[in-house]
């Protein structure tokens, strides 16, 4: 196996024996084969589009879901990848029939997957990241594009589940992925595709924002309990608000408390979710703490998306997966005819009985999406003009286990009292339970939401730039980002494609970015690797 798609890759170079994430080499090879199948489908889809035809819903949704399943910390279940690979074969054959005969097609198009898993694994070994003899920079840009495509697939999947799609976004999965089969593609073309992906992902996050806000209302500032309550419970993790809503409906009146976990925390701000009294609070920290926090827990956990870690035996019987998530030996809740029946997890939670006592109450504040923040725009502008707010920091992104990530905690702590901190995604758990005080009537820490709510942050920045009549790069705003997996890659490409410069990025730079490509990114966008909080803060605040 060879995988270097995420930040925690072994030795900062690549996982070769087993993933640091826990993905074993069999699953890694199967994921490589699935991606190869998807590239073949993409090529045919691209031809289909060139013939002026539309790609059907089933094929599009299969593409999104299968891509999503290969993201870091999503699915570790060999069986599920075997099923995806075989289903991909059928999808490919269907498309072939529709496209008609083609000459000189890439091998992925005519490749036929064997039924036998051992043979699949052998084939997977031949089509991994290092299979093609191509220049290091081309490989780097190609993988950058693929990870961006994977990240966007996750967001498109969520939007589609709530009935929102965009044809251009959908088609881009096929047209862009098809280009990754071309070994003669130029670096310029790949770079331009990465920028195009960034713009497409902006649109994709916009439709997801519409899907969330039209279904659940605009997030409102909301206090969230972060201490335990007595009684049976289910902890819901991941990003899928629809799963949470469905579970809230099915648990109503059953005496079960629902807690959010990880990236589900922002759910508390949405009117159509917070109206459920049994959505009682948020449990735990970021994803990498789950093995400790779920250890022997007297309740259930539902993983709706990443980030899943290998469950310990002490809770393997009470953690459930759904959607594209999976782990060998963990119960999975299937969607049947558009509905999920959560009865098994509900029964198990009741059986386990839950916590015996209430903990002393502690609360944090969430719910500062673009609607709320822009509603305060006049006051924010006045505060900036009067010098009450000197600078804005967006400190956000994904969390992870590396010690270098303390940088973000320290950075947030060291920001001067006359600066406002915006945050999003799971990286916020490094500091979101600290008291940063207020500036006038504003809390100094405003939680915008999940990683996909980077869209909200961009809307806020773009609108503020309009009011101040300046370029976004000239706002008193600095982005201090932490990345971990491929959704973060998609968001980073979005920020770059919109022309955002001077982004501080860490905790380490992607292993898949070659020295030459890094140089291009630094030259074009002045991306800065994080150094230490004092030094970076001084540099930022002393700039003009
Ligand atoms: Fe985090 Fe995991 Fe949202 Fe990621 S929970 S790391 S970027 O999956 O998606 O921020
Ligand atoms: Fe390694 Fe990350 Fe790939 Fe897992 S997803 S195998 S940790 S690079």
The answer to whether residue 153 scores a pLDDT higher than 70 is: yes
The answer to whether residue 544 scores a pLDDT higher than 60 is: no
* 88 close to ligand 2 (CB < 6 Angstrom): no
- Ordered by start, the domain boundaries in the chain are 1-131, 222-352, 370-542
Interhelix angle 57-69/78-99, rounded to 10 degrees, is 150
Q: Which atom of ligand 2 is nearest to the CA of 15?
A: 1
**H or E stretch at 336:** strand 335-336
Structure confidence at residue 204 (pLDDT): 98
Q: Ligand 1: which of 7, 69, 263, 424 to mutate, judged by most atoms within 8 Å of the beta carbon?
A: 263
pLDDT, mean of residues 56-81: 98
Structure confidence at residue 403 (pLDDT): 79
The answer to whether residue 504 scores a pLDDT higher than 90 is: yes
Query: What top-level class would CATH report for the domain 370-542?
Result: alpha beta
Q: How far is the CA of 487 from the centre of ligand 1 (A)?
A: 7
Q: How far is the CA of 483 from the centre of ligand 2 (A)?
A: 14
Q: Which residue has the tokens 């630094």?
A: 522
Q: Ligand 2: which of 11, 21, 67, 398 to mutate, judged by most atoms within 8 Å of the beta carbon?
A: 21
Per residue in 403-453, pLDDT (tens digit) is 789 999 999 999 999 999 999 999 999 999 999 999 988 899 999 999 999
Q: How far is the CA of 353 from the centre of ligand 1 (A)?
A: 30
Structure confidence at residue 543 (pLDDT): 81
> How many other β-carbons are positioned within 10 Å of the β-carbon of residue 58?
10
pLDDT, mean of residues 50-58: 98
* 9 close to ligand 2 (CB < 6 Angstrom): yes
Q: How far is the CA of 18 from the centre of ligand 2 (A)?
A: 8
Annotated binding site for [4Fe-4S] cluster: 3, 6, 15, 21
Q: How far is the CA of 130 from the centre of ligand 2 (A)?
A: 15
Annotated binding site for hybrid [4Fe-2O-2S] cluster: 239, 263, 307, 398, 426, 451, 485, 487
Cis amide bond preceding 467, omega within 30: no
Q: How far is the CA of 213 from the centre of ligand 2 (A)?
A: 33
* ipTM for the whole complex: 0.97
Burial readout 208-229 (b: 16 or more C-beta within 10 A, e: otherwise): bbebbbebbbbbbbbebbbebb
The answer to whether residue 517 scores a pLDDT higher than 90 is: yes
Residues 343, 247 contacting (CB under 8 angstroms): no
The answer to whether residue 321 scores a pLDDT higher than 80 is: yes
Q: Ligand 2: which of 23, 25, 67, 489 to mutate, judged by most atoms within 8 Å of the beta carbon?
A: 23
Report the nearest-CA residue for atom 2 of ligand 2: 6
Structure confidence at residue 319 (pLDDT): 98
The answer to whether residue 99 scores a pLDDT higher than 90 is: yes
Tokens of 336: 């049947």
pLDDT, mean of residues 224-244: 98
222-352 and 370-542 share one fold: yes
Give the CA distances from residue 71 to residues 21, 146, 286, 298, 317, in Å, rounded to whole numbers and listed in that order. 11, 11, 17, 30, 24
Q: How far is the CA of 325 from the centre of ligand 2 (A)?
A: 16
* 181 close to ligand 2 (CB < 6 Angstrom): no
Pocket of ligand 1 (CB under 6 A): 262-263, 287, 306-307, 398, 425-426, 450-451, 484-485, 487-488
pLDDT, mean of residues 271-290: 98
Q: What is the rounded CA–CA span in Å between residue 11 and residue 522?
A: 23
Which one of the ligands is nearest to 240 CA? Answer: 1
Give me the percent of the chain exceeding a pLDDT of 90.
97
The answer to whether residue 526 scores a pLDDT higher than 70 is: yes
Q: What is the rounded CA–CA span in Å between residue 406 and residue 410?
A: 6
Report the nearest-CA residue for atom 5 of ligand 1: 307
Q: How far is the CA of 534 from the centre of ligand 1 (A)?
A: 27
CATH architecture under which domain 1-131 falls = Up-down Bundle (1.20)
Structure confidence at residue 401 (pLDDT): 86
pLDDT band at residue 536 using 50, 70 and 90 as cut-offs: very high
pLDDT, mean of residues 278-307: 98
The mean pLDDT of the chain is 97
- The CATH code belonging to domain 222-352 is 3.40.50.2030
Cis amide bond preceding 338, omega within 30: no
Which one of the ligands is nearest to 405 CA? Answer: 1
Q: Which residues contact 383 (CB under 8 A, 6 or more apart)?
A: 389, 439, 440, 442
Assessment of whether the complete model's pTM goes beyond 0.95: yes
Output the CA angle 480-200-167, nearest 5 degrees.
150
Q: How far is the CA of 490 from the centre of ligand 2 (A)?
A: 17
């Amino acid at each position: 196996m060879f995988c270097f798609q995420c930040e925690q890759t072994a030795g900062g170079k690549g996982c070769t024996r087993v993933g640091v994430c826990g993905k074993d080499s069999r699953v890694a090879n199967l994921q490589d084969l699935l991606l190869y199948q998807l590239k073949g489908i993409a090529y045919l889809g691209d031809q289909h589009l060139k013939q002026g035809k539309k790609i059907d819903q089933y094929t599009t949704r299969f593409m999104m879901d299968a891509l999503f399943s290969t993201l870091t910390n999503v699915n570790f279940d060999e069986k599920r990848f075997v099923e995806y690979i075989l289903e991909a074969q059928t999808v490919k054959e269907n498309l072939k029939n529709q496209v008609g005969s083609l000459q000189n097609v890439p091998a992925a198009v005519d490749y036929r997957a064997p039924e036998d898993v051992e043979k699949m694994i052998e084939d997977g070994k031949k089509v991994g990241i290092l299979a093609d003899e191509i220049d290091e920079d081309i490989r780097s840009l190609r993988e950058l594009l693929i990870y961006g495509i994977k990240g966007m697939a996750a967001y498109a999947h969520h939007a589609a589940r709530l009935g929102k799609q965009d044809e251009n976004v959908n088609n881009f999965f096929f047209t862009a992925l098809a280009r990754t089969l071309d070994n003669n593609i130029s670096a310029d073309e790949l770079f331009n595709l990465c920028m195009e992906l960034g713009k497409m992902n902006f649109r994709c996050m916009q439709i997801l924002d519409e899907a969330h806000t039209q279904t659940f209302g605009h997030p409102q500032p909301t206090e969230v309990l972060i201490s335990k309550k007595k009684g049976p419970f289910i902890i819901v993790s991941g990003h899928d608000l629809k799963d949470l809503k469905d579970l809230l409906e099915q648990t109503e009146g059953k005496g079960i408390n629902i807690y959010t976990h990880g990236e589900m925390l922002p759910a508390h701000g949405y009117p159509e979710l917070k109206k459920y009294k049994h959505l009682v609070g948020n449990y735990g920290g970021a994803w990498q703490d789950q093995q400790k926090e779920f250890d022997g827990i007297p309740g259930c956990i539902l993983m709706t998306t990443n980030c899943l870690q290998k469950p310990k035996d002490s809770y393997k019987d009470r953690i459930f997966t759904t959607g594209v998530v999976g782990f060998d030996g963990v119960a999975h809740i299937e969607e049947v005819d558009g509905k999920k029946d959560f009865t098994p997890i509900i029964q198990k939670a009741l059986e386990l009985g839950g916590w015996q006592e209430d903990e002393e109450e502690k609360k944090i504040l969430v719910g500062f999406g673009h609607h709320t923040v822009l509603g305060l725009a006049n006051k924010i502008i006045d505060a900036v003009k009067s010098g009450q707010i000197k600078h804005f920091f967006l400190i956000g992104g994904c969390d992870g286990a590396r010690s270098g990530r303390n940088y973000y905690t320290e950075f947030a702590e060291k920001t001067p009292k006359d600066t406002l901190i915006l945050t999003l995604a799971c990286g916020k758990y490094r500091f979101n339970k600290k008291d940063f005080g207020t500036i006038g009537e504003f809390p100094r820490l405003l939680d915008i939401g999940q990683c996909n709510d980077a869209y909200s942050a961009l809307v806020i920045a773009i609108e503020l730039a309009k009011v101040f009549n300046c370029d976004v790069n000239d706002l008193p705003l600095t982005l201090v980002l932490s990345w971990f997996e491929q959704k973060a890659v998609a968001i980073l490409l979005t920020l770059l494609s919109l022309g955002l410069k001077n982004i501080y990025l860490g905790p380490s730079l992607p292993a898949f970015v070659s020295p030459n490509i890094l140089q291009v990114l630094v030259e074009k966008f002045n991306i800065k690797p994080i150094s230490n909080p004092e030094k970076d803060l001084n540099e930022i605040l002393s700039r003009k």
